[in-house]
Amino acid sequence: MNSSSAAPALVRYRNTIGGKQAEPIDGQWFESLNPYTGQAWAEIPRCGPADADAAVKAAHAAFQSAAWASLKPSARGKLLLKLAELIDRDAERLAAIEVRDNGKLMAEMLGQVRYLSEWYRYFGGLADKIEGAVIPTDKPEMFNYTRHEPLGVVVAITPWNSPLLLLGWKLAPALAAGNTAVIKPSEYTSASTLEFARLFEEAGFPPGVVNTITGFGVDVGDALVTHPLVAKIAFTGGDATGAHVSELAARHIKRVTLELGGKSPNIVFDDADLDNALMGAIAGIFGASGQTCIAGSRLLVQRSVHDQFVDRLVAFARTARMGDPMLATTQVGPITTLPHREKVLGYIDIARGEGAQCALGGGRPSDPALSGGWFVEPTIFVGVDNRMRIAQEEVFGPVLSVIPFDDEADAIRIANDINFGLAAGVWTRNIRRAFLMSERLQAGTVWVNTYRAVSYMSPFGGFKRSGIGRENGQEAIREYLQTKSVWMNLAEGMPNPFVLR
Ligand code: NDP
């Protein structure tokens, strides 16, 4: 075999534990696959409970070390600002790794990683603004004040769809608050996190403040969640895993924040700018190939414009270009993993079985150039009833359910008739209607005349089964702090010791 036809060597990654590059204790590795080619490109350490234990102990030692615990909050903030600079410097390299692992468009991942540094700047800026209060209690002989203190070791469990961005939503506030961390990325997309973890040393963080553990959730997940030295778990992923993590955490009295996805309604009224609404519907379900927790996977269209809107939607979506996610011309990339592609195709079968009509797509693309990748065609179902499984369950792929509605009350009824509550979109020119819908929709985020807008400054999280707690915005830092109330007796002597003071 000549050298040009030899398979390229796999990149071998290591974890960062206690500031050192760590090989898995059992010497096991697994391959990371490129969803566009189906080929292995990297080797990831397959960790077990002993590695998880080492990572948590390193994080705990760092939490107690003078190098971290005695660092002034403003100095902690400056480390985060330095990290932000390094992210900007390496954005292209990190984004390319994410594309190789999750198959999402380079345009999308580069945009995400370039924006990511703002999370570390924002929370870096908050690090020295964590203020307690002096409380004028009803006991004048007492001086009472509060302190907000870090929790300890935070385990951040991240999914495969936007690994570094969703990590930043957890890590930036956790570190700004003075915690240390162990990161467990998805087994499918670990490489960018392993590269990213190396930047912490360069930014000047003490060793052990940020540690990584890769491997399969079933091998290391429980060991991390139940570890006695772990104070909190910040999780983004599927609701079944989220419920499992939450259950274990409750048994061991640990804090959790959960971001568990959704089945978000994107609601188009007949008074909307229908050109914009069309772009919003496309962005909602075909952006990121629908592999996003905020996908607008239920498109509710007012009956008076339903048929014309669906015709335009189908015509537009038919032209979406599938292909190499690294190319700027590609609009729809592959599905991140082979099992997930099968799951998405399975939902298409379920929808057909339930009687929904497939108006576009509905399978794998026939183009032989795409046969190596895990593609699913942009798919649109019409005639969907909101009680069907295709309307109630998260597909996490480019599969849209279109549901007609009559008026505002009908739209609210359908939109809220679901266990999830992560996000919702409303398209209307009527300001009264925009306010009314924003108030009545049961969702953590409501977009009016836009879709998929997020910022480090604005709280994000779910109602109902979509999660617990909030990421982003000033309130996010509170999720990583605990409040201490300090009472100082200013009076002489102690009165009756047998009664509450
Ligand atoms: P999971 O919920 O299984 O994965 C999310 C993270 O949890 C991964 O890092 C995973 O690691 C980890 N994990 C798995 N098992 C455990 C465990 N026992 N203890 C602790 N951590 C664990 O998501 P999937 O990848 O299986 O996707 C399933 C569905 O979840 C998708 O089809 C989609 O509907 C939804 N989803 C939602 C996301 C969101 O943004 N809210 C993101 C991704 C998926 P590992 O990969 O190694 O198993």
pLDDT digits (tens, 9 = 90+) for 51-69: 999 999 999 999 999 999 9
Ligand 1 lined by 222 (C-beta under 6 Å): yes
Ligand 1 center–CA 440 separation, angstroms: 30
The confidence band for 501, taking pLDDT boundaries of 50, 70 and 90, is confident
Ligand 1 lined by 164 (C-beta under 6 Å): no
Token reading at 266: 């994107």
Ligand 1 lined by 216 (C-beta under 6 Å): yes
293 is annotated as an active-site residue: yes
Token reading at 126: 């908050």
Q: From CA 101, how far away is CA 177, in angstroms rounded? A: 31
Ligand 1 center–CA 289 separation, angstroms: 17
Which atom of ligand 1 approaches the CA of 187 most closely?
A: 47
The domains of the chain, with CATH numbers, are 13-260+466-484 (3.40.605.10), 265-448 (3.40.309.10)
- pLDDT > 70: what percent of the chain? 99
Query: What average pLDDT does range 476-492 have in this prediction?
Result: 97
Ligand 1 center–CA 60 separation, angstroms: 25
Query: What average pLDDT does range 361-365 have in this prediction?
Result: 97
Ligand 1 center–CA 261 separation, angstroms: 10
Ligand 1 lined by 218 (C-beta under 6 Å): yes
- Could you write out the DSSP letters of every residue in 144-204? EEEEEEE-SEEEEE--SSSHHHHHHHHHHHHHHTT-EEEEE--TTS-HHHHHHHTHHHHHT
Ligand 1 lined by 244 (C-beta under 6 Å): yes
- CA-nearest residue for atom 46, ligand 1, is 186
Whether 297 shows a pLDDT value over 70: the answer reads yes
Ligand 1 lined by 245 (C-beta under 6 Å): yes
The pLDDT score that the predictor gives to residue 3 is 39
- Average predicted confidence (pLDDT) for the chain: 96
Residues 283 and 451: beta-carbon distance below 8 Å? yes
- CA-nearest residue for atom 5, ligand 1, is 237
**Ramachandran sector of residue 232 (left: φ over 0; alpha: ψ -120 to 50; beta: rest):** beta
Dump strand ranges (E) for 28-137: 29-33, 40-45, 134-135
Which atom of ligand 1 approaches the CA of 157 most closely?
A: 9
Query: What average pLDDT does range 211-219 have in this prediction?
Result: 95
pLDDT digits (tens, 9 = 90+) for 138-166: 999 999 999 999 999 999 999 999 999 99
Catalytic residue among 187, 195, 293, 408: 293
pLDDT digits (tens, 9 = 90+) for 329-362: 999 999 999 999 999 999 999 999 999 999 999 9
3-state secondary structure 445-462: EEEECCCCCCCCCCCECC
Whether 5 shows a pLDDT value over 60: the answer reads no
pLDDT digits (tens, 9 = 90+) for 379-396: 999 999 999 999 999 999
Query: What average pLDDT does range 428-448 have in this prediction?
Result: 98
Residues 6+ apart with CB under 8 A from 98: 104, 109, 112, 113, 162, 163, 164, 189, 192
Residues 34 and 101: beta-carbon distance below 8 Å? yes
259 is annotated as an active-site residue: yes
Token reading at 473: 């915005």
The pLDDT score that the predictor gives to residue 6 is 60
Catalytic residue among 108, 259, 394, 479: 259
Whether 79 shows a pLDDT value over 80: the answer reads yes
Ligand 1 center–CA 185 separation, angstroms: 9
- CA-nearest residue for atom 41, ligand 1, is 261
The pLDDT score that the predictor gives to residue 4 is 42
Ligand 1 center–CA 188 separation, angstroms: 10
Q: From CA 432, how far away is CA 300, in angstroms rounded? A: 19
pLDDT digits (tens, 9 = 90+) for 13-30: 999 999 999 999 999 999
- The burial of 239, by beta-carbon neighbours within 10 Å (0-12 exposed, 13-18 middle, 19 or more buried), is given as buried
Which residue(s) pair with 12 in the sheet? 43
Whether 470 shows a pLDDT value over 60: the answer reads yes
Ligand 1 lined by 258 (C-beta under 6 Å): no
- CA-nearest residue for atom 15, ligand 1, is 217
98-108: buried (b, 16+ CB within 10 Å) or exposed (e) per residue? bbbbbbbbbbb
Pocket probe mutation, ligand 1, options 186, 219, 338, 390, max atoms within 8 Å of Cβ: 186
The confidence band for 1, taking pLDDT boundaries of 50, 70 and 90, is very low
Ligand 1 lined by 217 (C-beta under 6 Å): yes
pLDDT digits (tens, 9 = 90+) for 241-287: 999 999 999 999 999 999 999 999 999 999 999 999 999 999 999 99
Ligand 1 lined by 299 (C-beta under 6 Å): no
The pLDDT score that the predictor gives to residue 7 is 65
